[in-house]
Amino acid sequence: MRVAVTGGAGYIGSHTVVCLLEAGHEVLILDSFANAAPDVPDRIAGIAGQSAQVMRVDITDRPALTDALTGFRPEAVLHFAGLKAVGEAVEMPLEYYRVNVAGSLELMRAMEAAGCHRLVFSSSATVYGDPDVVPIPETHALRPTNPYGHSKRMVEQVIEDWGVANPAVAAVNLRYFNPVGAHGSAQIGEAPQGVPNNLMPYVAQVAVGERPHLSVFGDDYDTPDGTGVRDYIHVVDLAQAHLAALDLTGREGGVQAINVGTGRGYSVLEMVRAFETASGRPVPYEIIARRPGDIATSLADPSLSAARLGWKAERDLEAMCRDAWVWQSYLAGKNSG
């Protein structure tokens, strides 16, 4: 198949492009490189043994997007491009709505112009807000608590309405839980700019000696050890869920939302210990106050993904930590060299 991938040079997008190329698909990456290194496409080619086409395009630029899609004539689009930092979204909501919501609208209009109606969208478990029940089923109420989460909910709504208006539309909104890890080749991974917001990259930077200690945001939650529990998923498992979702859009029309997680949770302190084991390095930490807006526990109910996608996560916590460590060690060597 010909598949266009917005944000295909980013963290999750790059791993998915590797899987697409390895499965024999023809891929066009559309990325502004706002949050991706310019050599990512070459690294993808090095792993997959094949190249993707690449166009530097901003998804908010409809003429450029339309030219790209009408030229490539994709059979499906995987849509990763967007802004993703919750704290930044609270400070810059207009920019988040412009890129995430207006950019997604431009993408759908460009897809219409190119006669393409198969779409897989990167949504997030953040659309659920503070859940009433865990594990969280897809039928749970959607009540995001910040502009980033609202932007994901809004795009899901637009896609649903597009599907009602146009019977040709076949789309899957994938609600990711907590993606971590990196490709086992240590050629691609997550390279946060500045201080990492997320736990795993922060822990990795402490283990490698770039930061003195981890601040654990609260140990008084209603969880077994008092620290927050999350459903971490290896990024390569997540990438493979996209191939399964792509297949689903070929089998069935309409719009569906599907969780992508493992259903198994780990606390902050369990993550610290697992990372210490994988890296052989200490991860000193201190407990500080809760981070505003955090919830105690977030866990996917993975039964719909198993039933609809025929997919389930295969990589365990040890693989997540090991691959994150190998990638972090590579980054540290690159930065010091």
* Positions marked catalytic: 148
Determine, following the binding rule CB under 6 A, whether residue 157 of this chain makes contact with ligand UDP: no
Which amino acid is located at 210 in the chain? E
Determine, following the binding rule CB under 6 A, whether residue 147 of this chain makes contact with ligand NAD: no
CA distance 243 to 238: 9
Give whichever of 98 and 211 is closer to ligand NAD, judged by the CB atom: 98
Determine, following the binding rule CB under 6 A, whether residue 178 of this chain makes contact with ligand UDP: yes
Determine, following the binding rule CB under 6 A, whether residue 227 of this chain makes contact with ligand NAD: no
Tokens 């490709």 correspond to 183
Give whichever of 148 and 275 is closer to ligand NAD, judged by the CB atom: 148
Q: How far is the CB of 199 from ligand UDP (least distance, A)?
A: 4
- Beta strands per DSSP E along the chain: 2-6, 26-31, 53-56, 76-79, 118-124, 170-176, 178-180, 214-217, 229-230, 232-234, 254-260, 266-267, 285-288
Residues shown for the chain: 337
What tokens does 238 get? 């997540």
| Residue 266 bridge partners (DSSP) | 230
Find the binder of ligand NAD among 35, 173, 298, 328 (CB under 6 A).
35
Applying CB under 6 A, the span of 34-42, 109-117, 276-284, 297-305 interacting with ligand NAD comes to 34-42
In the region spanning residues 206 to 265, those forming contacts with ligand UDP, defined by CB under 6 A, are: 214-217, 228, 230
Cβ count within 10 A of residue 133: 10
CA distance 154 to 164: 15
Q: Order of strands across the sheet with 2-6?
A: 53-56, 26-31, 2-6, 76-79, 118-124, 170-176, 254-260
- CA end-to-end span of the chain: 40
Determine, following the binding rule CB under 6 A, whether residue 197 of this chain makes contact with ligand UDP: yes
State the binding partner of 34 from ligand NAD, ligand UDP, none, CB within 5 to 8 A by kind.
ligand NAD
Determine, following the binding rule CB under 6 A, whether residue 261 of this chain makes contact with ligand NAD: no
In the region spanning residues 77 to 96, those forming contacts with ligand NAD, defined by CB under 6 A, are: 80-82, 84
Cβ count within 10 A of residue 324: 25
Determine, following the binding rule CB under 6 A, whether residue 268 of this chain makes contact with ligand UDP: yes
Which residue has the closest beta carbon to ligand NAD?
A: 10
Find the binder of ligand NAD among 3, 4, 9, 324 (CB under 6 A).
9
Residues 6 or more apart whose Cβ sits within 8 Å of residue 157: none
Find the binder of ligand NAD among 60, 187, 240, 279 (CB under 6 A).
60
CA distance 88 to 35: 14
Q: How far is the CB of 204 from ligand UDP (least distance, A)?
A: 11
In the region spanning residues 2 to 61, those forming contacts with ligand UDP, defined by CB under 6 A, are: none
Give whichever of 31 and 323 is closer to ligand NAD, judged by the CB atom: 31
Chain residues that interact with ligand NAD, rule: CB under 6 A: 6-7, 9-13, 31-36, 58-60, 80-82, 84, 99, 103, 122, 124, 176, 179
Chain contacts with ligand UDP (rule: CB under 6 A): 178, 197-199, 202, 214-217, 228, 230, 268, 291, 294, 298
